[in-house]
């Protein structure tokens, strides 16, 4: 029972722009981020630290792949441990345990990669409700604690 992915599991990241200082990155503004190509990884070099910047879809894809690798490692550990038990105790019950754990590992579905999240946006009704709010906070009228 294998499950195929609707999107390719291959993720070919390409180098993107490089900013040698945070100031250079800051001066570029939003247009600096727009220079990052699809599947591109930009580099921001700070004081003693290098940062990599990538699109959310690429990040979510990497998170999904990392989760799948972790799942595969855990499943393989179960099969290896079962094989070690069969090597010590080669009776029918332990052989069945090995076969069952290998079958579970082989038949486990592939985990999907995450598609990310939707951007937060207020609806026009919510914006209208906030503009009609007559809440007025007079900071001077709030009593202050005395120490």
Q: What would the pLDDT profile of 76-135 be if each residue is shown by its tens digit?
A: 888 899 899 989 988 899 899 888 888 887 776 665 545 656 667 778 887 777 776 666
Q: Is residue 141 part of a domain?
A: no
Does residue 67 share a domain with residue 99? yes
Total domain count, the chain: 2
Residues with Cβ within 8 Å of residue 103, at least 6 apart in sequence: none
- CA atoms of 104 and 82, how far apart (whole Å): 12
Both 65 and 47 in a single domain?
no
Rounded Cα gap, residues 86 and 98, in angstroms = 7
With a cut of 50, say whether residue 51 has pLDDT above it: yes
Domain presence at residue 4:
no
Domain that holds residue 15: 11-54
């Amino acid at each position: 029972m294998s499950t195929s992915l609707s999107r390719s599991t291959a993720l070919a990241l390409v180098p993107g722009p490089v900013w040698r200082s945070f100031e250079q990155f800051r001066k570029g503004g939003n247009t600096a981020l727009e220079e990052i190509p699809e599947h591109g990884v930009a580099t921001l070099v700070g004081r003693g630290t290098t940062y990599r910047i990538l699109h959310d879809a690429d990040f979510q894809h990497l998170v999904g792949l990392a989760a799948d690798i972790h799942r595969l490692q855990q499943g393989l550990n179960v099969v290896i441990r079962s094989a070690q038990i069969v090597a010590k105790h080669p009776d029918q019950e332990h052989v069945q345990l090995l076969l069952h754990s290998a079958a579970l590992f082989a038949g486990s579905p592939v985990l999907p990669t995450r598609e990310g999240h939707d951007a937060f946006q207020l609806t026009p009704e919510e914006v209208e409700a906030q503009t009609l709010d007559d809440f007025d906070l007079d900071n001077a009228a709030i009593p202050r604690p005395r120490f």
